[in-house]
Structure 1
Amino acid sequence: MNLDRSVMAFAGLVVLISSILSLTVHPYWIALTIFAGLNMLQASFTGFCPAAMVFRKLGVRSGTAFD
């Protein structure tokens, strides 16, 4: 799995988990979903993604979006 797919999988996982938590634990967990969405939006414009930096340090091979 390359860096791009890892970032997308992580973002999807965060959205799913926070959605489930907002339905089962407390509605304020929806803030994590909003944060993930805003982070994906800003990364699409700036190319800066903290998750990509972490995955790169973990040794995930590069993709095309986050070089």
Structure 2
Amino acid sequence: MTVERYIRVMAGFFVMLSLALGYAGSPIFVSEWFLALTAFAGFNLFQSGITGFCPPGILFKKLGVPEGNGSCSGGKCN
């Protein structure tokens, strides 16, 4: 997997987790304040798309995760 895919997986995980912990109908509800984590993940994705600065991307690169070529061909991203 590439840095971009790890970032997508991490963002998706945080959104799902924060919704599960922040939605009152969830069996693992803790507090509605966990929905702020959803907003933070969305804001981080938004700003990194505009600025190109992504702290998790820097961390993954330092951990040796390979970078993708940034293109998707045939519906599958590298």
Higher helix share goes to which structure? Answer: 1
Distance in 1 separating the partners of 2:50 and 2:57: 15
Distance in 1 separating the partners of 2:62 and 2:39: 26
State the Cα deviation string for residues 15-46 of structure 1 (Å, max 9, x = none).
11111110211000000000000000000001
Distance in 2 separating the partners of 1:64 and 1:37: 24
Q: For CA contacts below 8 A with separation 6 or more, give which structure has more relative contact order.
A: 1
Displaced runs of 4+ in structure 1, greater than 6 A? none
Structure whose CA Rg is larger: 2
Which structure 2 residue ranges, 5 or more long, are not aligned? 24-28, 71-78
TM-score (norm 2): 0.78
1:64, CA displacement in angstroms? Answer: 3.4
Q: Aligned residue pairs: how many?
A: 65
Q: Residue in 2 aligned with 1:21?
A: 21
State the identity %.
42
